[in-house]
Chain A
Amino acid sequence: MLNRQGRPSSAGEAGTNEHPTFTGNKALAQIEPLIFEIGRADTTGVDLDEPEAFTPRLGGLERKDAIGLPGLSEPETMRHYVRLSQMNYGIDTGLFPLGSCTMKHNPRLNERMARLPGFADVHPLQPVSTVKGALELMNELARYLVTLTNMTTVALSPKAGAHGELCGMMAIKAAIEARGEGKTRNVVLVPDSAHGTNPATAALIGFVVKPVPARDDGWVHVEDVKKLLGPDVAAIMLTNPNTCGLFENQVAEIAKAIHDAGAYFYCDGANFNAIVGKARPGDLGVDAMHINLHKTFSTPHGGGGPGSGPVVLSARLAPYAPVPFVTLKDGELTLVEHEADAAEKPFGRMTAFHGQMGMYVRALSYMLSHGADGMRQASEDAVLNANYVRASLSDLFSQPFGDKPCMHEVLFDDTWLKDTGVTTLDFAKAMIDEGYHPMTMYFPLVVHGAMLIEPTESESKASLDLFIATLRDLAMAAKTGNDKARFTGAPFHAPRRRLDETRAARNPVLKWTPPAPVAEAAE
């Protein structure tokens, strides 16, 4: 058994005997029913006094039937959700190498700052004179984002990365409409290797999506783009660094070709964390790029959000940023909330209020902590860590585009698993038993059996060494074929064994329903 330094541990081997228990629980691993199975409609975990007698003004629309919501007391609630939490893997649990998802350390200082009453307990529509600090924070965040990207302006309001894509593409559409080409420029080029959100976003607002074919070196080639360019092309949506873990080495030429054709360059900024402080999208010819604050600037992913997707815009698109936004007027920061109040040409509103303030605070807290020097160092370390994993596994794992330096994530494929009887999925599930969250699998789609590993900058060398040693051990086991059950039966040690996803999709059960009474069920 290896310890966290990758050295043999002096502790004894854990026993593997199965000892059944009366409850089905196993010490700290406890089975937790649904709240609907343990709660009661008349139980509540809050103390609220009944209001004094009053005459309702509900116009006869008050609820007559029961809702069907169970309640738990405060101690029961605490125990229920603590037990649920213990069935989850998080970045604080261990290495989370999900490529393109960027699971890095989430500093708790950010959480503390976001909970300051001056940020968490202010209303989006209270008088502007009472939220000067909030506007200052948004303005400061905007300054950081604009400086890091060398762009002209930033639209803060998008609520997540994909919402940011929508914002960027809407700004492009608005600019094209303003040029009088709304009817004729309706094609968006999207490389095969792009995130699925890119074609979905373009299609959502009426663009025709044309794929840019994948080449076997993993890069988008300017010749392939040029072949597709014409007066009907509105934009290209290019991810850079791309989802194959590579920096698009012809990005400047591609940008020029796009601009020469009268189109715009949308950059999917999901992987911006690889180049912060090293290169600026504005210098590369980008017109619009969303920034996943949660990825690059470490706001926690929280089991699937909330995210935040500010969009930086070039001078050509700056007039089309959506409302609301913060602006300087007579030496004071103020909010522009309506299109009619804007000097420029906003394309409208994307969300009810000003965006993800809670995420802005976390991101700025991270930026201030790192500073310009720390952010640059973070990018370098992220790239160094990914290449260290690559170099340490390249003799065993196959790389679809050859053994060459990667950015912050390294892409392997399943060629090396051929004839072992072990699939990419099996391999991933075996990683779970070793205490790791699996890497990103089957993405990008252009690579068969893709395995995309992003260790991030927050992993130590010792942590990477143990991870590498574990993957090597698994790889050797897969190749020798001596212990196939280690893969096909995995995971053995997770809270659940492999789950039947086909059954879930074929017969969707999307909510709890009370079981039939015993007598009825017996019939």
Chain B
Amino acid sequence: MRYLPLSDADRREMLARIGVQSIDDLFADIPKDKLLKDLVDLPRRKGELEVERILSRMASRNVPASSVPFFVGAGAYKHHVPATVDHLIQRSEFLTSYTPYQPEIAQGTLQYLFEFQTQVAALTGMEVANASMYDGSTGTGEAVLMAHRVTKRRKAVLSGGLHPHYADVVKTLSHMASDEVVALAPDVSGTEDILSRIDDSVSCVVVQSPDVFGNLRDLKPIAEKARRHGALLIAVFTEAVSLGLLESPGSQGADIVVGEGQSIGNALNFGGPYVGLFAAKSKYIRQMPGRLCGETVDADGKRGFVLTLSTREQHIRRDKATSNICTNSGLCTLAFTIHMTLLGEAGLTRLARINHANAVKLADMLAGVKGVEVLNRTFFNEFTVRLSKPAAEVVERLAEKGVLGGVPVSRLMPGAGLDDLLLVASTEVNTDDDRAALAAALKEVL
């Protein structure tokens, strides 16, 4: 076995040094009748070539986003990732390191976490950011729990524009923790009356912008009313690139900002691994979940970085911890921070404009297709269209024609009576040919 360096002679010598006869003497605490005599019913070891063949064959049964005109979004977005990003994250010292518990020999990880925290705070317009969560959806669940801790109230109000998967994660956690959730009905137009749901019993109101239907939401009046009632505004985004063009949630008065960072530096990966961004006002740092990296000095007075404020965390506070999280998405965080460094402010704002421009172009083109109605007045790189046929059926027909045309709303919200709605996303990867292919395919199908 190429991953196992011991030879049989080594093993014999080592057993002799230990002073036992056979390897099973070291497994003597396992009850005799529970110790497996034979191998489990799985295939024997395989060489590298054969493993490559098996997995490549499985991979070939999937249609990669890059191979077709691609307009699928709804919380995960196809963007171009520069080659430099993947090269750098594969450096051994990043890829094969652990959580930086020994800061003297983990300054590489700690410095990029500090850079990441600064970038995320700037991007979201907030005072502090943590060193990342698993993803946007679980980060949203953590944000709601944090709001309960801060306000000592246990009722969350979820906007009908919140991604339904995110809402489901919050509902699951809240049900288990016996907390209350008020989830507003799906809000296709972004005009729901969320203000009337905010009162003195509410811990937080969770609003996504751009929302799941693509509408941009003005958070300022919501933040204002929440503040008056002692509730927190949790602002959510699923498309980090949008922050390059839009007013930051922080400048609109959000108390906690949480979102998905996959768009910057990370591949689609069929849904994971992704990276959750989490930022807040600095007065809440001791209630924040997740890791924090802080600046300090070493014994020689040199600047250095350490994990800090760990008294919030599970390994010290145990059942009193702010969260049970014991890891972050370190490598995805690194990919984010490298891509963001390559972009810089100039690159990010340009990338965001290109995304929006492409989406505008697409919306105008689709509006000219018979049987398609564009519903959004505002959007960033994704919008909702009403079709003259059920969207799930249309998407299947488009796929047969080699176009991945979007996400049927019924896939996210079955039973909501929105079967004719389709979410269409467009990013910098879409060309004029892609748009023409989608429009032409829709004409044929509808």
CB-defined interface of B31-63 with A at 8 Å, one 1/0 digit per residue?
100111001111111101011101111111111
B380 touches A127 (CB 8 A): no
Chain A residues, Cβ within 8 Å of B321? 196, 200, 203
Residue of B nearest to A170 (CB): B176
Chain B residues, Cβ within 8 Å of A115? 86
Stretch in A221-229, A479-487, A497-505 with 4+ CB within 8 Å of B: A497-505
A50 touches B350 (CB 8 A): yes
Chain A residues, Cβ within 8 Å of B342? 44-46, 71-72, 74, 77
A471 to chain B, nearest CB (A): 15
Q: Is B388 an interface residue (CB 8 A)?
A: no
Picked from B4, B94, B98, B166, the residue with its CB within 8 Å of the CB of A101 is: B98
Chain A residues, Cβ within 8 Å of B17? 388, 391-392
Q: Is B378 an interface residue (CB 8 A)?
A: yes
Range for the number of chain A residues in contact with chain B: 35 or more
Chain A contacts with B in 65-120, Cβ cutoff 8 A: 65-72, 74, 77-78, 80-82, 84-93, 96, 98, 101, 103, 105-107, 109, 111-113, 115-120
Chain A residues, Cβ within 8 Å of B325? 160, 162-163
CA A510 to CA B137, docked complex, whole Å: 24
CA A311 to CA B265, docked complex, whole Å: 29
Picked from B136, B298, B378, the residue with its CB within 8 Å of the CB of A497 is: B298
Residue of B nearest to A117 (CB): B64
Chain B residues, Cβ within 8 Å of A391? 17-19
A496 touches B271 (CB 8 A): no
Q: Is A178 an interface residue (CB 8 A)?
A: no
A304 touches B84 (CB 8 A): no
Picked from A147, A378, A392, A428, the residue with its CB within 8 Å of the CB of B102 is: A428
CA A74 to CA B269, docked complex, whole Å: 25
Chain A contacts with B in 274-329, Cβ cutoff 8 A: 275, 277-280, 283-284, 298, 300-308, 322
Chain B residues, Cβ within 8 Å of A497? 104, 298-300, 302
A353 touches B36 (CB 8 A): no
Residue of A nearest to B87 (CB): A78
A122 touches B294 (CB 8 A): no
A509 touches B245 (CB 8 A): no
Q: Is B311 an interface residue (CB 8 A)?
A: yes
CB-defined interface of A132-149 with B at 8 Å, one 1/0 digit per residue?
111011001000100110
Picked from B131, B165, B248, the residue with its CB within 8 Å of the CB of A349 is: B165
A280 touches B88 (CB 8 A): no
CB-defined interface of B312-332 with A at 8 Å, one 1/0 digit per residue?
011111111101111111111
Picked from A86, A126, A277, the residue with its CB within 8 Å of the CB of B39 is: A277
Picked from B112, B291, B314, the residue with its CB within 8 Å of the CB of A196 is: B314
Residue of A nearest to B112 (CB): A84
Picked from A277, A340, A461, the residue with its CB within 8 Å of the CB of B6 is: A461
Stretch in A7-15, A257-265, A358-366, A415-423 with 4+ CB within 8 Å of B: A358-366
Given the known interface contacts A68-B122, A159-B135, A277-B40, the answer about A302 and B300 at a Cβ–Cβ threshold of 8 Å is no
Interface size (B, Cβ < 8 Å)?
211
B6 touches A91 (CB 8 A): no
Chain B residues, Cβ within 8 Å of A523? none
A130 touches B108 (CB 8 A): no
CA A246 to CA B299, docked complex, whole Å: 38
B338 touches A512 (CB 8 A): no
Chain A residues, Cβ within 8 Å of B115? 34-36, 512
Picked from B2, B58, B291, the residue with its CB within 8 Å of the CB of A304 is: B291
Chain B residues, Cβ within 8 Å of A204? 145, 176-177, 323-324
B299 to chain A, nearest CB (A): 4
Q: Is B444 an interface residue (CB 8 A)?
A: no
A262 to chain B, nearest CB (A): 20
Q: Is A383 an interface residue (CB 8 A)?
A: yes
Q: Is A370 an interface residue (CB 8 A)?
A: yes
A34 touches B347 (CB 8 A): no
CA A351 to CA B142, docked complex, whole Å: 12
Chain B residues, Cβ within 8 Å of A364? 55
Chain B contacts with A in 236-283, Cβ cutoff 8 A: 243-248, 251, 260, 267-275, 282
Question: A44, A117, A461, A510: which has the most chain B beta carbons within 10 Å?
Answer: A510
Residue of B nearest to A384 (CB): B14
A367 to chain B, nearest CB (A): 8
Chain A contacts with B in 22-60, Cβ cutoff 8 A: 32, 34-36, 39-46, 48-52, 54-59
CB-defined interface of B170-205 with A at 8 Å, one 1/0 digit per residue?
011101111000000000000000000000000000
Q: Is B234 an interface residue (CB 8 A)?
A: no
CA A280 to CA B40, docked complex, whole Å: 9
A130 touches B414 (CB 8 A): no
Q: Is A179 an interface residue (CB 8 A)?
A: no
A84 touches B345 (CB 8 A): no
Residue of B nearest to A48 (CB): B350
CA A188 to CA B366, docked complex, whole Å: 56
A129 to chain B, nearest CB (A): 6
Q: Is B157 an interface residue (CB 8 A)?
A: no
Question: B13, B91, B341: which has the most chain A beta carbons within 10 Å?
Answer: B341
Q: Is A432 an interface residue (CB 8 A)?
A: yes
Residue of A nearest to B91 (CB): A85
Question: A67, A107, A249, A275: which has the most chain B beta carbons within 10 Å?
Answer: A67
CA A98 to CA B248, docked complex, whole Å: 41
Q: Is A19 an interface residue (CB 8 A)?
A: no
Q: Is A368 an interface residue (CB 8 A)?
A: yes
A498 touches B165 (CB 8 A): no
CA A284 to CA B137, docked complex, whole Å: 35
B273 touches A89 (CB 8 A): no
Question: A32, A54, A438: which has the most chain B beta carbons within 10 Å?
Answer: A54
Q: Is A426 an interface residue (CB 8 A)?
A: no
B296 touches A56 (CB 8 A): no
Chain A residues, Cβ within 8 Å of B345? 41-42, 66-71
A–B pairs, 6, beta carbons within 8 Å: A123-B404, A125-B411, A306-B272, A351-B169, A380-B23, A388-B14
Q: Which 9 A-B pairs have the closest CB atoms?
A: A71-B344, A353-B271, A118-B59, A302-B331, A133-B61, A348-B172, A124-B271, A304-B330, A306-B273
Contacts A88-B97, A133-B60 supplied; 9 other A-B pairs, CB < 8 Å: A58-B380, A63-B247, A162-B314, A280-B40, A303-B331, A304-B327, A337-B411, A368-B43, A405-B25
